């Protein structure tokens, strides 16, 4: 029986493992140091509801994918058909999938390295308690994380002074202008102050200043910028990466130059927004392609077609903005507002 090793248990890795396991064509090993999967796009609401909502957004792999071998270790390299682990051990593979995702070094809460599910819940509770006590909040970054965070905070605590400082010309700069207009209208209606075209620099006293010297202070500051890819462990492998660290892949999502190694989700250089739903699409295609290779090593693989920009951005519990390839059906935000798609990804 062939051996498939998946490195990374985020949305992409978990869905791939789940899909591959249904066919029973290979032994599947998940290499992931955490004991649990946490739905990443539910973390902001978990922050403002650390007791009621936070415990619902994560589940142990032992209950999610019980038939799959879960190795709770970190990968450190690849050589031939061997995956090296940080403890010096190796795992042989016939097929390897890199799905190690991304991190927010500027705000580690979003991509925690905590391996224990119980400890992670404590971590969320501490961060949420700090936020609850803050009278003023400064959010640096006007992307989807910054916009959604401002909405969650202002919906929960209408008396908090919340500001978004954004270096781009408009918030949600990577999406359509209609998304910006709608989101700004909702946020300003909630009392959120938005300042665009402004870069901030942190000072020694914990305050921030713009290029003109104007000082910005707040009881709590969230740096919702600076996403980095978890690909440094591949530095000595010879695998090609972009300047930003994205693994270069062919149209079938195989790592460039490798016949039996794939890269899916945030970690690859596919030119599309890095979203959970699209990571799921990549996982589904990769499962089909690997199954085809298991049956016929010379099989022609199906190409992945990058998606046009799409996004579901909740702004508080009752509003939000939606962009799909065919338009802006904002009413569809109600689909995500039910539980932020948690039940879909934790089944």
39-51 tens-digit pLDDT: 999 999 999 999 9
Return the CATH number of the domain spanning residue range 2-33+73-105+227-295. 3.50.50.60
pTM of the entire structure?
0.95
Long-range pairs for 41-44: beta carbons < 8 A, 24 or more residues apart: 41/276, 41/340, 41/341, 42/339, 42/340, 42/341, 42/342, 43/109, 43/110, 43/124, 44/145, 44/148, 44/149, 44/152
Confidence of residue 263 (pLDDT cuts 50, 70, 90): very high
The domain ranges of the chain are 2-33+73-105+227-295, 108-225+309-345
Contact 99, 262 (CB under 8 A): no
Confidence of residue 146 (pLDDT cuts 50, 70, 90): very high
Rounded to an integer, the average pLDDT of 25-37 is 96
Taking each continuous run of H as one helix and of E as one strand, the counts in the chain are: 9, 21
Dump pLDDT digits (tens) for 7-22: 999 999 999 999 999 8
Rounded to an integer, the average pLDDT of 188-208 is 95
pLDDT, residue 25, reads 84
The yes-or-no answer to whether 2-33+73-105+227-295 and 108-225+309-345 have a common fold is yes
Dump pLDDT digits (tens) for 248-258: 999 999 999 99
* CATH 3.50.50.60 corresponds to the domain 108-225+309-345: yes
């Amino acid at each position: 029986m062939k051996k498939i090793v998946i490195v990374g248990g985020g949305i992409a890795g978990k869905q791939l493992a789940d899909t591959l396991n249904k066919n029973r064509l290979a032994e599947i090993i998940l290499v992931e140091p955490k004991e649990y999967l946490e739905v990443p796009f539910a973390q902001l609401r978990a922050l403002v509801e650390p007791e009621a909502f936070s415990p619902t957004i994560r589940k142990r792999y032992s209950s999610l994918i019980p038939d799959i071998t879960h190795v709770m270790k970190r990968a450190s390299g690849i050589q031939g058909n061997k995956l090296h682990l940080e403890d010096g051990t190796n795992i042989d593979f016939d097929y390897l999938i890199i799905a190690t995702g991304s991190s927010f070094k500027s705000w580690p809460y979003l991509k925690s390295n905590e391996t224990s599910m119980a400890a992670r819940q404590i971590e969320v509770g501490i961060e949420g308690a700090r936020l609850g006590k803050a009278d003023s909040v400064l959010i640096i970054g006007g992307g989807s994380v910054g916009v959604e965070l401002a909405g969650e905070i202002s919906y929960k605590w209408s008396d908090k002074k919340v500001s978004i400082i954004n270096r781009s010309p408009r918030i949600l700069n990577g999406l359509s202008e209609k998304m910006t207009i709608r989101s700004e209208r909702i946020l300003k209606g909630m009392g959120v102050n938005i300042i665009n075209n402004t870069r901030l620099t942190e000072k020694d006293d914990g305050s921030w200043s713009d290029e003109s010297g104007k000082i910005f202070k707040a009881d709590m500051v969230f740096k919702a910028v600076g996403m980095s890819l978890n690909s440094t462990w591949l530095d000595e492998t010879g695998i090609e990466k972009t300047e930003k660290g994205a693994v270069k892949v062919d149209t079938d999502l195989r790592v460039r130059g490798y016949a039996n190694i794939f890269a899916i989700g945030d970690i690859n250089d596919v030119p599309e927004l890095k979203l959970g739903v699209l990571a799921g699409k990549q996982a589904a295609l990769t499962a089909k392609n690997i199954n085809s290779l298991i049956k016929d090593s010379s099989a022609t693989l199906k190409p992945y077609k990058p998606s046009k920009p799409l996004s579901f951005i909740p702004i508080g519990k009752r509003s939000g903005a939606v962009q799909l390839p065919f338009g802006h059906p904002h009413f569809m935000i109600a689909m995500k507002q039910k539980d932020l798609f948690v039940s879909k990804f934790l089944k």
